[in-house]
Chain A
Amino acid sequence: MVAAYKTVFGSIDDYRKGGVECLNDDPKRYVYSNMFEVAANSRPHERIAVARNLDYTIEVCRAEGLSPWMVCAHDEFVVAMDYDVTVHYRKLDDESGIDDSKDGFRTLAGEPAGRAMGRIFLKRGHQALLPEKRAYRFEASRPATLMLQSVSGPETQEKWADICQK
């Protein structure tokens, strides 16, 4: 009998990192990291760039407990990479603080006034839209890894020397 294929995913508490072996190059040029390792070594809700292409970023966020509310002038997307995460959405009463000329997310203080839009329950491999100008927050009952498609902003953290193979 032929054995079924087993698809190998990773998680914040179970990953096996690869790497770069150079013959004639500098491994730093490959900016090599592992998102689960980054999440495992992050504080809750930190958003750390693991990939950058000019202004665009892919960021990793360690979801744990309830995050602050965040908002962005442009769309973003989030993928749950290992464990369950709930995304809560809110339409802000006052959008005047969202500057269309500014890229990247910003954290909102406290409980912003607005209408609850609903929530999405993400499991491993689910991708959700974080629509422009809508506040969102993450909730996770255990540490989980989120991958975000975004644009670099003032709150995006870059720690390349800490996270990448040298």
Chain B
Amino acid sequence: MNQQLKCTVDSAAVGYQTFTIGQVKFERCEYFAYINCPKGEHLIPIDAFLRALMRDVAWGFFYGTVAFDDVFGTTNHYGNVDIYLGSKHSEWVKAGRDYVENFKSDLLMALFRAMLSDWTNAGFDPFAAPQETGTAFGRKHGNEDSLINRKREVARRMVGIPGDAALRSDDTGFPVNRAFLDVDQQQPVIQAEPGFEGELHAYNFFGYLARSAVTWNPSVVSVIRQSLFCPTTEEFILPIDHGNDRVEWFIQLSDEIVWDIKDGATSAPKAKVTMRAGDVCAMPGDIRHKGQSPKRSMLLVWENASPQIMDMIRDGTVPMVPVTF
């Protein structure tokens, strides 16, 4: 890049660390993250950057691409990860400004974790809805390590079964969210015959979701082999564009989400999907999607975590759509 055009960041003044991996450098000031690579530099508002970084870290680089915006992101190759700048935007590619560098996953994850910890100020929770947290801006003050290191709740069989992921309650630090105060919290009545008390299991799934403390961050509530029910509560905007490398499914459980769909390779807009309670929709394996939820809503994300799909991705045989008709 033309070094004359590089932004000036006075790290000593703002108090944040600069992070470098390979030929990619990350800096922050009071308002922006700066991603600098041999082909250029890109700025992202720091609140948006930290919300996206939080998801990339929490989801272990996720399935496929985590696009922080149309220019910068990561692509997971399961064991190693690309950092890219511009390579999924047609105009950047056309101009020859696109840049990709590959890293071992554990190395990049360690750097991202350190950056998230250092750049997140006291009072800002990157997982929270904007109305439920403080500001990300300003000079370095404190940290929120306890919030950014939350453990994802992952059931092995089903939430609430003794020894499996626990139910949420006031006592365990999960009050009902302000937007779900009207969601019934009554648990199902279970009448087990003598000798079968440990075999019948049920819980209030919607009540459990109403107690989610985070947004755009699925947990796992029920599992059949590699079929994972991953519900989440959504409010405002998904902080990333998720670029699929396989099909995933959305089931809208309550309220409404509008998804902007883009081409996974070029960022060109492709479609808008409006989902309301009861709607079921596949995200094809070659698109990027970003959701907008005007009111906190309940979304079931349904994932297939089968290693067979990893093989199909490597072979280029993974289907882009789940069924044809």
The answer to whether A and B interact is yes
Interface residue count for A (Cβ, 8 Å)? 71
Segment 4-33 of A: residues with Cβ below 8 Å from B: 4-10, 15-25, 27-33
Residues of chain B within 8 A of A149, CB atoms compared: 222, 224, 227, 229
Bound together, the chains give a CA A160 to CA B304 distance in angstroms of 20
Segment 176-196 of B: residues with Cβ below 8 Å from A: 178-184, 186-193, 196
Is B308 interfacial (CB 8 A cutoff)? yes
Bound together, the chains give a CA A18 to CA B320 distance in angstroms of 23
- A118 lies within 8 A of B200 (CB): yes
- B227 lies within 8 A of A53 (CB): yes
CB < 8 Å neighbour of A120 from B202, B284, B322? B202
- B249 lies within 8 A of A58 (CB): yes
- A5 lies within 8 A of B180 (CB): yes
Is A116 interfacial (CB 8 A cutoff)? yes
* CB of B321, distance to nearest CB on chain A (Å): 5
Residues of chain A within 8 A of B249, CB atoms compared: 51, 53, 58
User: Which of B13-21, B115-123, B271-279 lies at the interface with chain A?
Assistant: B271-279
Is B56 interfacial (CB 8 A cutoff)? no
Is B199 interfacial (CB 8 A cutoff)? yes
Determine the interface band of chain B, counting residues with CB < 8 A from chain A. 35 or more
CB < 8 Å neighbour of A23 from B191, B227, B271, B308? B271
- A22 lies within 8 A of B271 (CB): yes
Residues of chain A within 8 A of B114, CB atoms compared: none
Residues of chain B within 8 A of A37, CB atoms compared: 278
- A51 lies within 8 A of B302 (CB): yes
Is B247 interfacial (CB 8 A cutoff)? yes
Bound together, the chains give a CA A77 to CA B160 distance in angstroms of 13
CB < 8 Å neighbour of A30 from B181, B191, B269, B281? B281
- A24-B268, A118-B192 are known contacts; what are 18 more A-B pairs with Cβ within 8 Å? A5-B180, A17-B276, A18-B273, A18-B279, A28-B325, A31-B282, A34-B278, A52-B323, A53-B303, A58-B249, A117-B200, A118-B200, A122-B202, A125-B183, A127-B205, A127-B222, A129-B200, A129-B222
